[in-house]
Amino acid sequence: MLKVDGIDVFYGNIHALKGVSIEVLEGEIVTLIGANGAGKSTLLKTLSGLLKPKNGSIQYENKSIAGKAAQTIVKTGISHVPEGRRVFANMTVEENLELGAYVRKDKQIQKDIQKVYETFPRLHERRKQLSGTLSGGEQQMLAMGRAIMAKPKLLLLDEPSMGLAPIMVKTIFEIIEDINKNGTTILLVEQNAHMALSVAKRGYVIETGRVVLTGSAKDLQASEEIKSAYLGG
């Protein structure tokens, strides 16, 4: 579904991604693991068109999307939930969800909003509330709900568990698995490597802009290197 081959990404003269190659097959959950500043968010931003690679190729459903505008990429079925729950603060919960569907032309939008409310009952309770006044965890739910409204084929999730209470972390990961079971392929960036590997099929470890290790989630969980560096020993 997605094939990234040897991409280089720069911020000015900072070389953030150095020849990164990854692959995501249809139906998978694939996770990117790495320390702070490794380049995980940079990779997601490049896939969704917020950054342009200097070299290398990005093939999505056998078409090149490298360097295409974000508005073009979102229409091909790739939806990005960036780090830090970016919601439109001055719009209500419901307006944010409606906006998530702006790329769609079908008539199922209201039905899908109801489905998001079933997944996140808290958002239903708060549907008329201005999003900027939601709690951090509620904003995270809204950011995911808005991405689901785009009916993506490929969902890019950046640190969905960040800042959430432990019980909510569990819920968010259950929801990620549900979204996947309903047919959406997922590329997941997570600090919580333990949870990420428990839902993912495969993973890539990124260190200072390079992929240094890849394997099945099971093998990565068992790796001594991963255990000591990312799973707390």
> What is the number of other CB atoms lying within 10 angstroms of the CB of residue 70?
14
Q: Please tell me whether residue 13 binds ligand ATP under the rule CB under 6 A.
A: no
Q: Which is nearer to ligand ATP, 47 or 149 (CB)?
A: 47
What track of x and - describes contact with ligand ATP for positions 162 through 201 (by CB under 6 A)? -----------------------------x----------
Task: Please say which residue, 9 or 123, places its beta carbon nearer to ligand ATP.
Answer: 9
Instruction: Return the DSSP state at 128.
Output: T
Residue 202 lies near ligand ATP (rule: CB under 6 A): no
- The Cα–Cα gap between 105 and 51 comes to 27
- Residue 2 or 51: the one with the smaller Cβ distance to ligand ATP is 51
Residues numbered 79-98 forming contacts with ligand ATP, rule: CB under 6 A: 83
Token code pair at residue 70: 């974000």
Closest CA to 206 of 173, 230, 172, 185: 230
Parallel, antiparallel, or unpaired: how do β-strands 202-207 and 210-216 relate? antiparallel
Residues in region 35-74 near ligand ATP by CB under 6 A = 36-42
Tell me if 11 contacts ligand ATP by CB under 6 A.
Answer: yes
Give the residue with the Cβ less far from ligand ATP, 11 or 111: 11
SS3 content of the chain, % helix, strand, coil (to 5): 40, 25, 35
Q: Which of 14, 90, 106, 128 binds ligand ATP (CB under 6 A)?
A: 14
> How many chain residues are in contact with ligand ATP, going by CB under 6 A?
13
**Residue 99 contacts residue 39 (beta carbons within 8 Å):** no
Range in contact with ligand ATP (rule: CB under 6 A) among 10-18, 74-82, 135-143, 222-230: 10-18
| CA atoms of 149 and 220, how far apart (whole Å) | 32
- Contact between 82 and 130 under an 8 Å Cβ cutoff? The reply is no
Where do contacts with ligand ATP occur on this chain (CB under 6 A)? 11, 14, 16, 34, 36-42, 83, 191
